[in-house]
Amino acid sequence: MSNLQIGAMAPDFELPATNGEQVRLSDFRGRHVVLYFYPKDLTTACTQQSCDFRDANAQMLRMNTVILGISLDTVQTHERFIAKHELPFLLLADTEHTVCEQYGVWQLKKLYGREYMGLVRSTFLIDSEGRLVEEWRGIRVKGHVEKVLEAVKLLPAAGSK
């Protein structure tokens, strides 16, 4: 489990992204970041979650906030997901669940009495200086993006003190 603390620097990482580049969290300093972890591309709940973030993207951008999605899927699967649902933000491939472990979202799960390791749907809000502002773990998709938007609205404009 991770030792993430609100107010502390969010763990930096580097992952392959759907823009064909290696992307680091620190690349986005000066902008707020909504970092959401989801279990699998093209599944019902994950599609709904990603489409909800898609629909909020323009509003987030107006608040100097970028959205990044992370799952265990490959960049190629992410590209199909983006094309099918017109997602306007980067998806990052954490195929070895390294970043999932850093953020404490790679956990023991139970389904129908069977235990297995898996990704727990979670979202993190990181401010323009790279500090963790808010976290939502084990979320329900319905209404979640609205909660994230409300938290982003409370942040000072990026670059101001």
- Which residues are the active-site residues? 46
Residues with Cβ within 8 Å of residue 55, at least 6 apart in sequence:
145
Integer-rounded Cα Rg, in Å, for the chain is 15
Distance of alpha carbon 38 from alpha carbon 35, whole angstroms: 10
DSSP 3-state assignment of 15? strand
Contact 35, 60 (CB under 8 A): no
Distance of alpha carbon 98 from alpha carbon 106, whole angstroms: 9
In 10 A of CB 129, how many CB atoms? Answer: 14
Instruction: Please name which of 70, 77, 79 lies closest in space to residue 120, comparing C-alpha atoms.
Output: 70
In 10 A of CB 91, how many CB atoms? Answer: 26
